[in-house]
Amino acid sequence: MIGRLLNFILFVTFAGATITLADTNTGDEYAPVADLLKSCQVCHGDQGASTEQQYPILAGQEFYYLYVQLKDFKSGLRANPIMDPVVSALDKDQMQLIAKYFSEQVWPDTEYASDDQVTRSAITVITAGQCIACHLGKFDGDSRVPRLAGQHPEYLAKTMLDFKSKSRQNSPAKGSLLASFADQELINVAQYLSSL
């Protein structure tokens, strides 16, 4: 992670001149944020199809969820040492364009698995928490509710544990609910969701 962070700082410092990225091929619509999109892909992978566990997949994520997260990073509701400097200078139009770009990409195939014991534990938590009522049956999300299916398990687990510990506070209802589960239960849920 430190290596990525250093790369990212270098990228921001030299405005993208020092790092060669896959062609973003953004077209005219995304020209105003082309350089910003390149910086996003330093960590989040080509077209947002992250292959590293700690960076969430953005490709194919819900537009409005992504936009709200960018707004929350900027307002400080969601604190993150990597994202804070990225979003501080973004305006609303830029945030919406970035969110739209990633929402239009294809969610990558991931091949995570969940064994029977983990799956049983996860389904018990999901039933108790009525998670499907918001995230929908396939955990595909919709609009302001993120897709969780196929997301990296490490990122999902960290997210839930951060909600539980209140180190992430930009979805208060999530924090209240997750606080009532054991850490290992949430890790099991993360593994199960990643396998969907």
Partner 1 sequence: MGNKRINNLFLNLFVGWCIALFSISSVQSQEVGGGTLYGDMLTVTQDMLDRAASDSNNFLHTNGNYKQTRYYPARQINVGNVDRLQRAWTFETEVVESLETTPIIVNGVMYVTTSFNHVYALNAETGQEIWHYKHDMGPITTYCCGPNNRGVFPYGDKVYMGTLDAKLVALDAKTGRLAWATQIADPELGYSETMAPTAVDGKILIGTNGGEYGIRGFVKAYDADTGKELWTFHTTAENSVGVWATKDATGRDMLRDIRAEKAALKKLGDPYKTLGGGVWQNMAIDRETNTVYFVAGNPSPDLYGAIRPGDNLYTNSLVAVDLSTGKYKCHFQYIAHDVWDLDAVSPPILTTVVDDRGNEVKGVLHAGKTGYVYVHRAKDCSLIRFSEPMVVQENRWVLPTPEGERMLPGANGGVEWSPMAIDPNLGLAYAINLHQPMTYHVEATPYPGGKLWLGGAFKVIAEEQQWGNITAVDYNTGKIKWKVKTEQPMIGGILATGGGLVFTGEGNGWFRAFDSKTGELLWQYKANAGVNAPPASYNVGGNQYIVVGAGGNVQLDYKRGNEIIAFKLGR
Nearest approach, Cβ of 144 to partner 1 (angstroms)?
6
Concatenate the DSSP letters of all residues of 120-150 into one string: HHHHHHHHHHTTHHHH-TTS--BTTBPP-TT
Cα gap 124→162, rounded to integer Å? 21
In angstroms, the Cα distances linking 115 to 105, 135, 150, 156, 189 are 30, 22, 15, 17, 12
CA end-to-end span of the chain: 26
Nearest approach, Cβ of 6 to partner 1 (angstroms)?
34
- Paired strand residues for 142: 145
Nearest approach, Cβ of 94 to partner 1 (angstroms)?
16
Q: Closer CB to partner 1, residue 88 or residue 127?
A: 127
Q: Closer CB to partner 1, residue 29 or residue 142?
A: 142
Nearest approach, Cβ of 21 to partner 1 (angstroms)?
27
Nearest approach, Cβ of 9 to partner 1 (angstroms)?
31
Q: Closer CB to partner 1, residue 42 or residue 98?
A: 98
Which residues have a Cβ under 8 Å from the Cβ of 80 and sit 6 or more positions away? 73
Q: Closer CB to partner 1, residue 18 or residue 130?
A: 130
Applying CB under 8 A, which residues contact partner 1?
63-64, 124, 127-130, 132-134, 136-137, 142-144, 170-177, 179-180
Q: Closer CB to partner 1, residue 153 or residue 175?
A: 175
Specify the amino acid at residue 144: R
